[in-house]
Structures are given as structure tokens and as C-alpha cells.
């Protein structure tokens, strides 16, 4: 039986879990091409999961086993829109699964949001994880081999930082900003990232949560971690833990909320030691304006409360928090790609059970999974069940003969070759992997991330 050729756009966890679900069944033979615009696979596992969470990052090893299968091929450094259009991809494959995640960030929509010093968490995360897209190649001058990301200057100048949002990404960012650089030495962060972090002198990080302690989006394990950071005082307002009826009802219904509140209540008893650095947790607080003439100098915040319909509304006087750096950590947002249907309001690709919907109904050959399907929620593992649902829809369409094997994967390979595009395959990734491990050895760590595009390509090159 001729295998069904399926292209997956995005080699992050959602894309690779889709490849796993496609190849885990034996009824319908498949040949899968996992395409990524970056030279390396693993998406947010490499460029989103915090470097000081090595066990979550090691999910990469499981994902790699799927890429190693004979019926799966990795096409790295191939960008949809730049190297091949969606229409072209659809014309040489039997089905396409979009798994390109949520590449942008949600906005706060407050005055001053675009001042120098106000940045989006996804950009900061991409920088410290070493994403080549935010590590410029050249400065244009002779003094540096590589250019600089403006984030580097912001981090070294700031004394006080505000992180807006009460989710796990806010906690990741908070740890990186408040930890001493030598506490991050064992991670796989690039030397140039570590050297910038070593120059920072941030003493205070203020985390703003627009609702109360019973309504955070933290997971408890990640929340508890911040109490383990050394030489840091944790400052909270005991009044915030005097929960109202709605807050009490929430912790009765939601076990994670109850555990989070209990963990933070324990911190109220921690003595303030006069430590050199401080984490301030501000509940019922939201930013109304970011202040500064040409760069961030402070954030004006207001107290909040929930109204009768559960909406966050203003509840008190305005007050400034001095800060030179503001990190907006209020969620990721999916982007529109040329030729792919997109719901502007939701920032997602419209679908039913993973089957893409176009204006005139179900698309015959397009599917979607991961954050671009359901929005930026859940942990890495959530993408597995999500991919299973999407692949189930696809396989059902094959069983119903709505989708048929007509193409050969060689059509994709030759289309790219004809225009001079040489995708990076799995052996190329394995050479990058070996180069990163070799770099790490000299520093007593497992690996050191290579951050520049040209260096990744050089490391990927087969010496023969
Ligand atoms: P998130 O979990 O959706 O949290 C976003 C936070 O921003 C919420 O506290 C939200 O408050 C707040 N927010 C949204 N709009 C706001 C506004 N206009 N003003 C003030 N606050 C606002 O998003 P995330 O932290 O980016 O995480 C994305 C996903 O990745 C989550 O599922 C997360 O669990 C996951 N993740 C997991 C890990 C891990 O397991 N270690 C690490 C990182 C990320 P409201 O609740 O009031 O809307």
C-alpha cells in the first residue's frame, strides 16, 4: 500500500507528537516530513522550557526517537512562506498538519508599553534559551563578531524589574532575573547569555497579579521553587490572603489553587532576613501605565477587585513602582501565516477536532495541532493528547477515502532541491548536538547551546 505523505509544519513538541501518533499505528502506512524554519528541532522544548528545568528539557531525547524513525524525516532550516508556500507544500504532499505554535505575545494595551525597557516575556525567554532568531549575526562594526540584542543592555542596566502576569512563564522569567548568574552556570545557556546575566545587578523583582492568590495560573511545583532561591527575601501582603467568599469557593473546587494558596501562606511566616535581593508578589494589582520619557522609569499600578460578573475592575488609588525593566508575561499568541486560515480574535487556526476549516467548509487535506490549534495553554504533555485527536481525525478521513495517498516524499525533496534549498536533516542536528555537548564539557555541564545561525550551520556541516 502506498504510504500517505504527511508534512508537519513545526518540529516542536506538538509537531513531533503528531509524527509519533501517525507512526504509532500500522493500519495506514505513512511517510512523514517534519519541517521547521529553525536549523534545529524541538521548538519550545529547546527555546521555551526554562534552562534551569533540565528534566523537562530532556523530553527532547524522547522526541528525537520519533525523528529517528525510517518513516519520519526532519527538514530543518526550511521556512514556509520564505522557501516554499503553503500551496506548494500542499501540492506535493497528501496532507499537512500545522504545528507552528504561538510565535507572538499578547499585549497589555497600556500607555508606555512600547517604551525602551518594556519587553515581552517570549522575547526574553527566546534570548536566554539561545534562539538564533533573536541573536543577531553581525553588529555591522569591526569590534564584535556578532551583534547584540537590546535585551542585553536592559538586563545589565536594570536594578528593579516588574514582571506582569501570574503564570509559569512569569515564574521562569522571575527566576532568571533574580538568581545569581553562577546559580545558572550548570544550565545549557550560551556563554554569551551567561556573561550578560553575570553583569546584571537586579535587586528587586515585582510580580503583578491582577487577581488574588486563589486565581494564579502557576503550577505548585514551579511556584514552590521561588522560595528555594538563595539570598532572596519574599515579600507578600498578608491582607491578600484573607480570602473573600469567591476566593474560598475557588480553593474548595480547585486543588491546584488550594495548594498554591497554602504554599504562599507558608511564606508569610518566613522571616525577612535583609537579603540583598527581593521578590515582591503583588496581588490584586495591575499596570495602568508604563512611565518614562524615553525609557522605562516606573510602572503605575492600581489595586483591582472582581465585580459581580467576575471581571477585573479598578479598586483603589494609583501608585508607582520604580523599575527600569518591565516584562509582560501575559501569554503567547498565535500568528497568521500566508495561505493558512486564521481566526484573528482567537489567534488560532479554525478547526473541528484538528481538521482545518476554511471559508467553504472542511479543507480536504489540512489539519492543526498544538498551541496554534487550542491556544497557548497546558504543559508539554498536553500536546500529546492534542496530537492524538488531530491524527485520529486525519486517519478517519483516510478510512473514509476522503484523503488518499497520491504523492511521494521525493516530490517535496526535489521541489526544495530545484530551488537550491538544502534542508538540515537529522544527522545534521546530531552533529550540532555533538558540537554543543563538546562545548559544554569544558564548563562542567552537559552542553552549551549554540546561539548564532551561522554557527549552527557550521556545526551542522558534514566534515566529509
Ligand atoms: P498563562 O498560564 O496563560 O498565564 C498568563 C497570566 O497573565 C495569567 O496570570 C493572567 O491572569 C495574566 N494576564 C493575562 N492578561 C493580562 C493582562 N492584560 N493584565 C495583567 N495580567 C494578565 O501563560 P504563560 O505563563 O505564558 O504560560 C503559557 C503556558 O505554558 C501555560 O499553560 C503554562 O502552564 C505553560 N508553562 C508551563 C511551564 C512548566 O510547567 N514548568 C513553564 C512555562 C510555561 P488572569 O488569569 O487574570 O487572566
Residue 438 lies in a domain: no
Whether residues 96 and 166 share a domain: the answer is: no
Interval between CA 274 and ligand 1 midpoint (Å): 30
Whether residues 180 and 92 share a domain: the answer is: no
pLDDT of residue 365: 98
Residue 324 sits in a domain of what CATH number?
Answer: 3.50.50.60
Interval between CA 108 and ligand 1 midpoint (Å): 13
Residue 447 lies in a domain: no
Q: Any idea which of 22-26, 104-108, 377-381, 460-464 has the lowest mean pLDDT?
A: 460-464
Q: Which of 292, 310, 328 is the last residue of a domain?
A: 328
- Whose CA is closest to 241, among 206, 286, 285, 283? 283
Q: Residue 214 and residue 225: Cα distance in Å, rounded?
A: 18
> Which atom of ligand 1 is least distant from the CA of 216?
9
Residue 442 lies in a domain: no
Whether residues 23 and 116 share a domain: the answer is: no
Pocket, ligand 1, Cβ cutoff 6 A: 53, 108, 164-170, 172, 210-211, 215, 217, 219, 222, 286, 329-332, 376-379
Answer yes or no: are the C-beta atoms of 295 and 133 closer than 8 Å. Answer: no
Whether residues 123 and 195 share a domain: the answer is: yes
290 φ, ψ to 5°? Answer: -105, 125
> Which atom of ligand 1 is least distant from the CA of 331?
26
Which residue CA neighbors atom 15 of ligand 1 most closely? 330
Interval between CA 165 and ligand 1 midpoint (Å): 6
Interval between CA 376 and ligand 1 midpoint (Å): 9
Beta bridge partners of 304: 314
Residue 160 lies in a domain: yes
Residue 366 lies in a domain: yes
Q: What's the domain count of the chain?
A: 2
Give the pLDDT band of residue 144 (cuts 50, 70, 90).
low
Interval between CA 170 and ligand 1 midpoint (Å): 7
**pLDDT higher than threshold 80 for residue 244:** yes
For residue 311, how many other CB atoms are within 10 A of its CB? Answer: 9
Q: Any idea which of 211-215, 388-392, 405-409, 441-445 has the lowest mean pLDDT?
A: 441-445
Could you read off the pLDDT of 17-55 as tens digits, one per residue?
Answer: 999 999 999 999 999 999 999 999 999 999 999 999 999
Q: Residue 50 and residue 27: Cα distance in Å, rounded?
A: 38
The average pLDDT across 438-462 equals 92
Whether residues 293 and 166 share a domain: the answer is: yes
Dmax over CA atoms of the chain, in Å, equals 71
Q: Which of 277, 293, 328 is the last residue of a domain?
A: 328
**pLDDT higher than threshold 80 for residue 145:** no
Return the percentage of the chain with pLDDT > 90, whole number: 94
Residue 437 lies in a domain: no
Could you read off the pLDDT of 193-203 as tens digits, one per residue?
Answer: 999 999 999 99
Could you read off the pLDDT of 185-195 as tens digits, one per residue?
Answer: 999 999 999 99
Whether residues 300 and 398 share a domain: the answer is: no
446 φ, ψ to 5°? Answer: -65, -40
Residue 443 lies in a domain: no
Show the domain range for 77. 4-103+334-424
Between strands 160-164 and 104-105, the pairing is: unpaired
Interval between CA 232 and ligand 1 midpoint (Å): 24
Whether residues 78 and 33 share a domain: the answer is: yes
Return the percentage of the chain with pLDDT > 70, whole number: 98
For the record, the C-alpha cell of 145 comes out as 563578531
**pLDDT higher than threshold 70 for residue 440:** yes
Give the pLDDT band of residue 140 (cuts 50, 70, 90).
low
Whether residues 300 and 352 share a domain: the answer is: no
> Which atom of ligand 1 is least distant from the CA of 312?
47
Residue 400 sits in a domain of what CATH number?
Answer: 3.40.50.720
The average pLDDT across 151-161 equals 96
Q: Which element (helix H / strand E) includes 257?
A: helix 255-267
Interval between CA 377 and ligand 1 midpoint (Å): 8
Q: Residue 13 and residue 17: Cα distance in Å, rounded?
A: 6
Question: Where do we find the cell 526535489?
Answer: 414
Residue 165 lies in a domain: yes
pLDDT of residue 463: 76
The average pLDDT across 126-142 equals 83
pLDDT of residue 251: 97
Whether residues 356 and 227 share a domain: the answer is: no
Q: Which of 328, 362, 388 is the last residue of a domain?
A: 328
Whether residues 340 and 314 share a domain: the answer is: no
Answer yes or no: are the C-beta atoms of 8 and 34 closer than 8 Å. Answer: yes
Q: Which residue has the higher pLDDT, 140 or 76?
A: 76
**pLDDT higher than threshold 80 for residue 434:** yes
Residue of 331, 334, 346, 382 to test ligand 1 pocket, by largest number of atoms within 8 Å of CB: 331
Q: What is the mean pLDDT of the chain?
A: 95
Whether residues 271 and 141 share a domain: the answer is: yes
Which residue CA neighbors atom 21 of ligand 1 most closely? 165
> Which atom of ligand 1 is least distant from the CA of 170?
25
Could you read off the pLDDT of 294-353 as tens digits, one per residue?
Answer: 999 999 999 999 999 999 999 989 999 999 999 999 999 999 999 999 999 999 999 999
Whether residues 90 and 112 share a domain: the answer is: no
Answer yes or no: are the C-beta atoms of 367 and 30 closer than 8 Å. Answer: no
The average pLDDT across 79-84 equals 96
Amino acid at each position: 500500500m502506498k504510504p500517505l505523505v504527511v508534512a508537519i509544519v513545526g518540529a516542536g513538541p506538538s509537531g513531533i507528537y503528531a509524527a509519533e501518533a501517525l507512526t504509532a499505528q500500522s493500519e495506514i502506512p505513512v511517510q512523514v516530513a517534519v519541517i521547521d524554519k529553525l536549523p534545529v528541532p524541538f521548538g519550545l522544548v529547546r527555546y521555551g522550557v526554562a534552562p534551569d528545568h533540565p528534566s523537562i528539557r530532556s523530553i527532547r531525547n524522547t522526541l528525537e526517537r520519533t525523528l529517528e524513525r525510517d518513516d519520519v524525516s526532519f527538514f530543518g532550516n526550511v521556512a514556509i512562506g520564505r522557501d516554499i508556500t503553503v500551496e506548494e507544500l500542499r501540492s506535493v504532499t497528501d496532507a499537512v498538519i500545522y504545528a507552528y505554535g504561538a510565535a507572538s505575545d499578547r499585549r497589555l494595551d497600556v500607555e508606555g508599553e512600547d517604551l525602551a525597557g518594556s519587553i515581552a516575556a517570549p522575547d526574553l525567554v527566546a534570548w536566554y534559551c539561545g534562539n538564533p532568531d533573536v541573536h543577531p549575526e553581525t553588529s555591522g562594526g569591526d569590534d564584535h563578531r556578532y551583534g547584540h540584542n537590546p535585551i542585553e543592555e536592559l538586563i545589565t542596566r536594570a536594578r528593579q524589574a516588574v514582571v506582569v502576569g501570574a503564570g509559569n512563564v512569569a515564574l521562569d522569567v522571575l527566576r532568571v532575573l533574580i538568581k545569581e548568574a553562577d546559580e545558572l552556570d550548570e544550565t545549557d545557556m550560551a556563554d554569551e547569555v551567561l556573561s550578560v546575566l553575570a553583569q546584571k545587578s537586579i535587586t528587586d523583582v515585582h510580580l503583578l497579579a491582577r487577581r488574588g492568590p486563589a486565581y494564579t495560573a502557576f503550577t505548585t511545583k514551579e511556584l514552590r521553587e521561588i522560595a528555594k532561591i538563595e539570598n532572596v527575601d519574599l515579600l507578600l501582603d498578608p491582607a491578600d490572603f484573607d480570602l473573600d467568599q469567591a476566593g474560598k469557593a475557588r480553593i474548595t473546587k480547585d486543588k491546584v489553587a488550594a495548594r498554591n494558596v497554602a504554599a504562599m501562606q507558608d511564606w508569610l511566616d518566613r522571616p525577612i532576613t535583609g537579603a540583598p535581593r527581593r521578590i515582591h508578589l503583588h496581588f490584586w494589582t495591575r499596570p495602568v501605565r508604563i512611565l518614562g520619557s524615553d525609557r522605562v522609569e516606573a510602572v503605575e499600578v492600581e489595586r483591582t477587585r472582581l465585580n459581580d460578573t467576575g471581571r477585573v475592575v479598578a479598586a483603589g488609588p494609583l501608585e508607582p513602582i520604580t523599575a527600569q525593566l518591565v516584562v509582560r508575561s501575559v501569554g503567547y499568541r498565535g500568528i497568521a501565516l500566508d495561505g493558512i486560515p486564521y481566526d484573528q480574535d482567537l489567534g488560532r487556526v479554525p478547526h473541528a477536532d484538528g481538521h482545518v476549516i476554511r471559508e467553504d467548509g472542511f479543507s480536504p487535506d489540512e489539519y492543526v495541532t498544538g498551541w496554534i490549534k487550542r491556544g497557548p495553554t497546558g504543559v508539554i504533555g498536553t500536546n500529546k493528547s492534542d496530537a492524538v485527536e488531530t491524527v485520529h481525525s486525519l486517519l478517519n478521513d483516510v478510512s473514509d477515502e476522503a484523503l488518499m495517498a497520491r504523492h511521494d516524499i521525493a516530490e517535496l525533496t526535489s521541489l526544495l532541491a530545484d530551488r537550491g534549498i538544502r534542508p538540515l536533516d537529522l544527522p545534521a542536528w546530531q552533529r550540532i548536538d555533538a558540537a554543543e555537548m563538546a562545548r559544554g564539557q569544558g564548563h562542567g555541564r552537559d552542553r552549551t547551546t549554540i546561539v548564532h545561525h551561522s554557527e549552527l550551520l557550521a556545526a551542522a556541516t558534514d566534515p566529509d
